[in-house]
Amino acid sequence: MKIKRKGILFVVSAPSGAGKTTLCRRALERLQGIEFSVSYTTRPPRPEEREGVDYRFVKEETFLNMVERGEMAEWARVYDHLYGTPIFSLDKAIEEGRDLLLDIDTQGASQIKAKFPNDTVAIYVFPPSLRALKERLTLRDTDTPSEIKKRWERAEEEVAMYPFFHYFIVNDVLEDAVKELVCIVEAERHRVSRIQELKW
Ligand code: 5GP
């Protein structure tokens, strides 16, 4: 039999340093039929990042033109840079029944949830403790000390946003957290309410 359903937007947010990027990457390796939603950003690429794979790296002017033309489903200023998700790729994925994983901040997550209430599953990733978060922020050698300080100041504000999400994961043991994310994705795919059509 074949089941037709719309694509689901799995939105994953966390305070910076909670290990969300690694968690998302590992879960994507395990899951079938889900793609990473590539965001636009005005931030310069980090050494290991690839254009079109991790982000679309654009100038602020290009980004703001897209916002003006209504091409962003959501966007936010995170620290000193702009980040956004193009609406076209979301509409297309939902329509075609393809699932997407969005690694975005809490401001973006609440915009996506408001715009696509029936097609969004919002997942919040907690660090095991605030101390662990601080350690992870300090250990990340890609950021300057002033960036680390800003991320730390914002982390507590970000944690306060968790009640707006559907699910939570505590990223203590990475392997367990990956399993939990995979389980959430699989369970949400099997909601009867998502069935649009059955073909025998
Ligand atoms: P980073 O610069 O470390 O890659 O990302 C900084 C923050 O921006 C992270 O919390 C990340 O999830 C978030 N982010 C990445 N892409 C988007 C996006 O398209 N929209 C929003 N709102 N946040 C994003």
Q: In this predicted model, which residue has the larger pLDDT, 44 or 79?
A: 44
Question: Left, alpha or beta for 125 (phi > 0: left; psi -120 to 50: alpha)?
Answer: beta
Over pLDDT 70: what percentage of the chain? 98
Q: Is residue 199 part of a domain?
A: no
For the Cβ of 16 lying below 6 angstroms from any atom of ligand 1, the answer is yes
Neighbour tally for 174: CB within 10 Å: 12
Please give the distance, rounded to the nearest whole angstrom, from the Cα atom of residue 26 to the centre of ligand 1.
18
Reported pTM: 0.94
d(CA 3, CA 111) in angstroms, rounded, equals 29
Q: Is residue 196 part of a domain?
A: no
The mean per-residue pLDDT over the stretch 115-135 comes to 92
Q: In this predicted model, which residue has the larger pLDDT, 89 or 142?
A: 89
Q: Which domain does 77 fall in, by range?
A: 2-190
Q: Is residue 195 part of a domain?
A: no
Location of structure tokens 């059509």? 197
> Phi and psi (nearest 5°) for 184?
-60, -45
Is residue 164 within 8 Å of 106, Cβ to Cβ? yes
Q: Is residue 88 part of a domain?
A: yes
Q: Is residue 197 part of a domain?
A: no
For the Cβ of 107 lying below 6 angstroms from any atom of ligand 1, the answer is yes
Please give the distance, rounded to the nearest whole angstrom, from the Cα atom of residue 84 to the centre of ligand 1.
8
pLDDT of 36 over the 90 cut: yes
pLDDT of 142 reads 67
Classified as helix, coil or strand, 11 is: strand
Amino acid at 74: E
Is residue 11 within 8 Å of 123, Cβ to Cβ? yes
For the Cβ of 56 lying below 6 angstroms from any atom of ligand 1, the answer is no
For the Cβ of 76 lying below 6 angstroms from any atom of ligand 1, the answer is yes
Q: In this predicted model, which residue has the larger pLDDT, 158 or 66?
A: 66
Please give the distance, rounded to the nearest whole angstrom, from the Cα atom of residue 13 to the centre of ligand 1.
9
pLDDT of 56 over the 90 cut: yes
Minimal-distance CA residue to ligand 1 atom 10: 105
Domain of 153, CATH number, reads: 3.40.50.300
Counting ligand 1 atoms within 8 A of each CB, the residue from 24, 41, 49, 78 with the most, and so the one to mutate, is 78
pLDDT of 193 over the 90 cut: yes
Q: Is residue 200 part of a domain?
A: no
Q: Is residue 110 part of a domain?
A: yes
Domain count, the chain: 1
Buried b (16+ CB within 10 A) or exposed e, 45-81: eeeeeeeeebbebbeeeebbebeeeebbbbbbebeee
Q: Is residue 16 part of a domain?
A: yes
Q: In this predicted model, which residue has the larger pLDDT, 156 or 4?
A: 4
Minimal-distance CA residue to ligand 1 atom 20: 84
Neighbour tally for 100: CB within 10 Å: 21
Q: Closest Cα partner for 96 from 11, 31, 34, 40?
A: 34
Q: Return the DSSP state at 86.
A: E
Residue 50 CA: distances (Å) to CA of 11, 22, 42, 56, 189:
22, 16, 14, 9, 30
| pLDDT tens digits for range 57-112 | 999 999 999 999 999 999 999 888 999 999 999 999 999 999 999 999 999 999 99
Residues in contact with 141: Cβ distance below 8 Å, sequence separation at least 6, in sequence order:
none
Residue 4 CA: distances (Å) to CA of 63, 110, 148, 173:
35, 27, 45, 35
pLDDT band at 141 (very low <50, low <70, confident <90, very high): low
For the Cβ of 103 lying below 6 angstroms from any atom of ligand 1, the answer is yes
The mean per-residue pLDDT over the stretch 116-136 comes to 91
For the Cβ of 158 lying below 6 angstroms from any atom of ligand 1, the answer is no
Q: Closest Cα partner for 143 from 156, 127, 154?
A: 154
